[in-house]
Amino acid sequence: MPPMDATTIVFAVIAIFVIWKLYSVLGTRTGAEPPPFDPNLHRDSAGAGAPGAPRAPGQVIRLPGAAHEPQAAPPPLADPQRWKDFLEPGAKAVPGLEAIAAADRSFDPGNFLNGAKIAYEAIVVAFAKGDRDTLASLLATDVLDSFSKAINDRIARGETMETKIVAIEQARIDDARLVGGVAQVAVRFVAKLISFTRDKAGKVVEGSADAIADHLDLWTFARDVSSRNPNWRLIATDSGH
C-alpha cells in the first residue's frame, strides 16, 4: 500500500467529522416530525365518513341517520292532562283537541276560550241590537241567515230587544274535532243575562227588564287550520235554561 500523504489524511478526518455530525442530527427525533405516511388518509372524499373509513383531521363523522340539515323539533307528546282545566266534566274532547293542536301549533285552549267569551258577548248584544255588520264578522253564512231572519221578523212585528250580560260565569270545551282540515270546538257557556223584548207600545212581551236570568248555551266555533286568518266563526248554536 503506498504511503498516505498529509493532505489525504486531513480530508479523511474532515469527511468522518461531517458524517458524524449529520448522523447526530438526522438520527435524532425532536417530537415535531410528521406522522408516518398513511396511504388511506388521502382517499377520495366520497368515501369519507363511511363505516370503517379513516377520519381526516378536522372531519366530522355524522351518526347513522343524521340529516345534513337541522330538523324541526318533533311535535310534543300527547298529554291529555294539559286539557283538563278547559273541559266540561265528562267531555270526550281530548282526541279532537290533540288532532287540532297537531294541525295548528298555535292553538291554545286558554286563549281560545277567552276569545270565545268575547265573541259570545259580542254576538248576543249584536243580535239584540240588530247589528248585522258585527254578526257578519263572527257568524258562518247559514247561522247569519238564521239570525238575520229572526231580526227581520222582530222588526216586522215592531218589536225591540234589549240584552245586558251581567256575567259569563263559565266557558268550557264540551267537544272538539278536526274535520277535513277544519277545527270545530263546542263550548258550553253558563251566563247571567238581563234580556227582554218590547212591543210597539213599549210593553215588555218577553223576558224581564229587572230579573237576571241564567242562560246555558252550547255554541260551536270553527276555523280552517290551513288559513292565515286566526278568527273563528260560530257555526251552530243550541240553547237551554
Q: At what angle do helices 109-129 and 141-156 cross, to 10 degrees?
A: 30
pLDDT score at 34: 38
Most confident by average pLDDT, 3-7, 67-71, 90-94, 204-208: 204-208
Q: Is the pTM value of this prediction over 0.75?
A: no
CA pair distance 94, 100, nearest whole angstrom: 10
pLDDT digit string (tens) for 28-78?
443 433 333 333 333 343 343 333 433 333 333 222 222 333 333 334 445
Count how many residues are written for the chain. 241
pLDDT score at 3: 55
State the chain's mean pLDDT as an integer: 77
Q: State the DSSP code for 201.
A: T
Return the H-helix or E-strand segment holding 125: helix 109-129
Q: Collapse the DSSP code of 18 into the 3-class scheme (helix H, G, I; strand E, B; otherwise coil) and give the result.
A: helix
Looking at residue 174, its amino acid is D
CA pair distance 222, 157, nearest whole angstrom: 33
Domains of the chain: 85-240 (3.10.450.240)
pLDDT digit string (tens) for 118-164?
999 999 999 999 999 999 999 999 999 999 999 999 999 999 999 99
